[in-house]
Amino acid sequence: MPNNTFEDYKIAVKNKYEEVKNGEYFVYLNNPTRGRLRNLCWELFLQENRNQDDLNVFSSLLGLAFDVTKKNKFDEQIDKFRPIETYFKGETDPANVEAVNLAAILVDFKARPFNKFRIQNLYKDEIENHDGNSYEILNPERQEIDSTEILEKFLDKKESEKGIEKGIVIQKGIEDVKERTIEEVKPETNAINAFVSIKENPPSKLKGKIRKTIIGLAIVLCIGFAVIFFAFPEKGCMQWSGDHYDLVDCNLKAPENNIVLLDPSQINLKRIKVCDTTPFFKNEKAIVFYVRCNGSIECFNQIGYHPENTSRFLRPITDHIIQRYVKPCK
Under 8 Å between Cβ of 212 and 231: no
What does the pLDDT read at residue 262?
A: 85
Banded model confidence at residue 219, pLDDT cuts 50, 70, 90: confident
3-state secondary structure of 153: helix
Banded model confidence at residue 218, pLDDT cuts 50, 70, 90: confident
Q: Please determine, for residue 171, whether its predicted confidence score (pLDDT) is greater than 80.
A: no
pLDDT top residue among 4 and 284: 284
Query: Any residues with CB less than 8 A from the CB of 260 and at least 6 apart, and which?
Result: 237, 238, 239, 310
3-state secondary structure of 305: strand
Domain boundary assignment for the chain: 6-143, 152-231, 235-267, 269-330
What does the pLDDT read at residue 152?
A: 53
The string of pLDDT tens digits covering residues 4-45 is: 789 999 999 999 999 999 988 999 999 999 999 999 999 898
Under 8 Å between Cβ of 98 and 84: no
pLDDT top residue among 188 and 172: 172
What does the pLDDT read at residue 208?
A: 75
- Residue percentage of the chain with pLDDT more than 70: 67
Give the max Cα distance, the chain. Answer: 100
Banded model confidence at residue 286, pLDDT cuts 50, 70, 90: very high
Distance CA 297, CA 273 (A): 10
Q: What HEC string does 249-298 produce?
A: CCCCCCCCCCEEECCCCCCCCEEECCCCCCCCEECCEECCEEEEECCEEE
Q: Which long-range contacts (CB under 8 A, 24 or more apart) does 4-11 make?
A: 4/117, 4/118, 4/120, 4/121, 5/118, 6/97, 6/100, 6/114, 8/117, 9/100, 9/114, 9/117, 9/118, 10/87, 10/93, 10/94, 10/100
Q: Please determine, for residue 83, whether its predicted confidence score (pLDDT) is greater than 90.
A: yes
In this prediction, residues 247-259 reach a mean pLDDT of: 74
**Backbone phi and psi for residue 50, each to the nearest 5 degrees, phi listed first:** -75, 145
What does the pLDDT read at residue 330?
A: 79
Banded model confidence at residue 248, pLDDT cuts 50, 70, 90: confident
Distance CA 37, CA 61 (A): 14
In this prediction, residues 103-118 reach a mean pLDDT of: 91
Q: Strands 285-286, 309-313: parallel, antiparallel or unpaired by DSSP?
A: unpaired
Element holding 222 (H helix, E strand): helix 204-226
Q: Please determine, for residue 125, whether its predicted confidence score (pLDDT) is greater than 70.
A: no
**Backbone phi and psi for residue 310, each to the nearest 5 degrees, phi listed first:** -70, -5
Average pLDDT score over the chain:
77
pLDDT top residue among 154 and 113: 113
3-state secondary structure of 133: coil
Write the DSSP string, 80-103: GGHHHHHHHTTS-----HHHHHHH
Beta bridge partners of 270: 244
The most confident of the ranges 43-47, 104-108, 152-156, 160-164 is 104-108
In this prediction, residues 225-248 reach a mean pLDDT of: 71
